[in-house]
């Protein structure tokens, strides 16, 4: 009897607590209610679906059209209120990363998918890992990578190389070709191995998995469950039990995600074991990024060393980060050069005249990274079309968020700072910051690479954007800046300079549609489905060898 009464009391208390939480979310005012923004599309889900929509470009542009540096819209009411809040918070987020960290949701998802690596650690733990990895990403190491990439570049521009031929009169899927090249760049540069991406008739299992990961994890049926339930079920039962539940749930997209993660993790384990064996024999490529990391880790103090599971996590992280953002960036550059043929011709003249000075046509690293118009094209593409448009941050303690200038609140008062309560999560739009009218002028959304060939406007300098790359937030900043941004820059410059020296690109009759899948990714209208049942990523272009032009 006593036990029965206790259970009733517990059940009553739990129900009352849940009712209070719901009533509080729906009816009590919130400190951020005075921030101007768009009306949420749903009373319950707020603007969650719009913010993370794969077709969300228009929504984000409408938010930015308010021409303010701070604007908000409720994401959903069932947990801590979450707001879309862009450029004004950039400085605070970079300079005070203990107060504004990656959200618990993102840290948890990244830990489950990639392990305890750079994308899922914070504070001192993250700093120790980053310190261990920094020696692998110096300028000297980038020069070494330039030499290691020659085999990939020769296959990439070969006139009849698999899996497609530039000699064909039909459009060529440059998304497929550049994805294979990006995977080989990662394999050879990071791990001194090949994924055999250009082997005739063969598609590496890892290639399709890593290509689909970003768009699967941002599907609508994952977003709300991630925010609401993931933290409570992450340690439910044993790993074997959780896997059994995943296997038997009638949830197709969850099974797709499971298979993707299995392929990514299996590839990482194989690479790690190969390097462990070679490292134990005293072998390994000196310029291999993983080998450098393992040596750095082995020579560190015992308390600072990463465990084997952490080293494995860095492999899966590097594989994904090194592949995903660069593939989207390079395909977007080709898309823009097709839209702006004059820019394509100007860039072609620059790289051809530079390559002509060298017997083998390979432009040395220092000159390649300094080509002015090539540099301008890449900077402008990364400004207007940020490879990773959004990141999710979380306030870990009550804080005053300073604004770069004053803005009117919904009650008419001018805001110079905003009080943000502990636990608030918000989406930081790197894209909105890079295309801020107040910083870049009325043509902020216009792709104009020539703007980088002259001194930048005073407003750009005065803004003091804290990004690690060229007055932009493209690769974020501070301790959470992208550690491999020099690798991404080098790969883009190698590939674009090489392709334009040999081919002229133009659109086919297929309309290209860009999706906001966490990363920027292209598909076409009426696209066929891939092995995961998703619209196939592709960008068919007409490619004409210059000798035939």
Over residues 515-522, the mean pLDDT reads: 90
pLDDT band with cut points at 50, 70 and 90 for residue 481:
confident
Answer CATH for 31-548 from 3.40.30.10, 1.10.630.10, 3.40.50.720, 1.10.3720.10: 1.10.630.10
Q: Residue positions in the annotated binding site?
A: 482
Please give the distance of CA 280 from its chain centroid, rounded to a whole number: 34
Q: In this model, does residue 69 exceed pLDDT 60? A: no
Selected residue with higher pLDDT from 428 and 312? 312
Query: What SS3 class is residue 183?
Result: helix
Give the sign of the dihedral formed by CA 414, CA 420, CA 424, CA 430: positive
Paired tokens of 326:
């660069």
Residue 175 and residue 537 in contact, taking contact as beta carbons nearer than 8 Å: yes
DSSP letter string, 273-342 = HHHHHHHHTT---TT-HHHHHHHHHHHS-GGGPPPHHHHHHHHHHHHHHHHHHHHHHHHHHHHHHHH-HH
Query: What SS3 class is residue 515?
Result: strand
Residue holding tokens 């996590």?
Answer: 313
Residue 513 and residue 52 in contact, taking contact as beta carbons nearer than 8 Å: no
Comparing 191-195, 266-270, 520-524, which segment has the lowest mean pLDDT?
191-195
Q: Residue positions in the annotated binding site for heme?
A: 482
Q: What is the distance between the alpha carbons of residues 431 and 383, in angstroms, rounded to a whole number? A: 7
Q: What is the pLDDT of residue 361?
A: 79
In total, the chain counts a number of residues equal to: 549
- In eight-state DSSP terms, residue 28 is S
pLDDT band with cut points at 50, 70 and 90 for residue 85:
very low
Paired tokens of 114:
């990639």
Highest mean pLDDT among 132-136, 190-194, 261-265 belongs to 261-265
Residue 100 and residue 483 in contact, taking contact as beta carbons nearer than 8 Å: no
Q: Is 253 exposed, middle or buried (0-12, 13-18, 19+ CB in 10 A)?
A: middle
Q: In this model, does residue 6 exceed pLDDT 80? A: no
Give tens-digit pLDDT for 370-399: 999 999 999 999 999 999 888 888 888 888
Residue 484 and residue 184 in contact, taking contact as beta carbons nearer than 8 Å: no
Comparing 144-148, 236-240, 251-255, 387-391, which segment has the lowest mean pLDDT?
144-148
Q: In this model, does residue 321 exceed pLDDT 80? A: yes
Preceding peptide of 496 cis, ω within 30° = no
**425-429 and 82-84 as β-strands: parallel, antiparallel, unpaired?**
parallel
Paired tokens of 345:
């011709």
Q: What is the distance between the alpha carbons of residues 492 and 494, in angstroms, rounded to a whole number? A: 6
Residue 322 and residue 483 in contact, taking contact as beta carbons nearer than 8 Å: no
Query: What SS3 class is residue 74?
Result: strand
Q: What is the distance between the alpha carbons of residues 549 and 541, in angstroms, rounded to a whole number? A: 15
Which sequence spans correspond to the domains of the chain? Answer: 1-29, 31-548
Q: In this model, does residue 71 exceed pLDDT 50? A: no
């Amino acid at each position: 009897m006593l036990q029965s009464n206790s259970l009733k009391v517990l059940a009553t208390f739990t129900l009352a607590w849940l009712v209070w939480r719901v009533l509080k979310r729906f009816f009590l005012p919130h400190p951020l209610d005075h921030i101007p923004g768009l009306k949420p599309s749903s009373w319950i889900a707020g603007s969650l679906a719009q913010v993370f929509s794969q077709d969300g470009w228009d929504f984000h542009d409408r938010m930015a059209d308010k021409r303010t540096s701070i604007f908000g819209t409720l994401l959903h009411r069932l947990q801590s209120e979450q707001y879309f809040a862009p450029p004004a918070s950039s400085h605070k987020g970079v300079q005070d990363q203990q107060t504004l960290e990656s959200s618990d949701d993102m840290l948890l998802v990244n830990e489950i998918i990639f392990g305890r690596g750079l994308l899922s650690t914070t504070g001192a733990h993250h700093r120790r890992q980053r310190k261990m990895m920094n020696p692998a990403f110096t300028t000297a190491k980038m020069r070494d990578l330039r030499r290691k990439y020659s085999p990939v570049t020769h296959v990439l521009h070969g006139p009849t190389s698999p899996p497609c031929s530039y000699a064909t009169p039909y459009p060529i899927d440059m998304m497929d070709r550049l994805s294979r090249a990006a995977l080989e760049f990662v394999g050879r540069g990071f791990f001194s191995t090949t994924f055999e991406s250009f082997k005739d008739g063969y598609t590496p299992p890892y290639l399709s998995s890593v290509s689909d990961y970003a768009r699967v994890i941002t599907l609508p049926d994952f977003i709300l469950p991630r925010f609401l339930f993931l933290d409570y079920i992450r340690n439910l039962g044993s790993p074997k039990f959780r896997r059994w539940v995943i296997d038997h749930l009638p949830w197709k997209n969850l099974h797709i995600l499971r298979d993707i993660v299995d392929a990514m993790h299996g590839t990482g384990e194989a690479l790690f074991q190969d390097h462990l064996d070679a490292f134990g024999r005293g072998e390994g490529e000196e310029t291999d990024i993983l080998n450098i990391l393992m040596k750095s880790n082995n020579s560190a103090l015992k308390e600072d060393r990463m465990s084997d599971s952490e080293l494995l996590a860095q492999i899966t992280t590097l594989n994904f980060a090194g592949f995903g953002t660069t593939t989207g960036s390079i395909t977007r550059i080709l898309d823009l050069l097709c839209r702006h043929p004059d820019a394509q011709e100007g860039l072609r003249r620059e790289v051809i005249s530079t390559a002509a000075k060298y017997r083998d046509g390979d432009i040395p690293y220092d000159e390649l990274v300094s080509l002015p118009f090539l540099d301008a094209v890449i900077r402008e593409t990364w400004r207007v079309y940020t490879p990773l448009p959004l990141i999710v941050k979380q306030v870990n303690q009550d804080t005053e968020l300073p604004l770069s200038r004053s803005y009117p609140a919904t009650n008419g008062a001018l805001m110079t700072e905003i009080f943000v309560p502990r636990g608030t999560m918000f989406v930081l739009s790197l894209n909105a910051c890079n295309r801020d009218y107040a910083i870049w002028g009325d043509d902020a959304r216009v792709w104009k690479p020539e703007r980088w060939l002259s001194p930048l406007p005073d407003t750009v300098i005065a803004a003091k954007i804290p990004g690690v790359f060229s007055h932009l937030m493209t690769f974020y900043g501070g301790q959470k800046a992208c550690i491999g941004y020099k690798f991404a820059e080098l790969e883009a410059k190698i590939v674009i300079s090489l392709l334009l020296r040999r081919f002229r690109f133009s659109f086919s009759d297929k309309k290209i549609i860009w999706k906001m899948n966490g990363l920027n990714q292209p598909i076409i209208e009426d696209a066929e489905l891939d092995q995961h049942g998703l619209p196939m990523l592709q960008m068919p272009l007409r490619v004409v060898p210059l000798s035939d032009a």
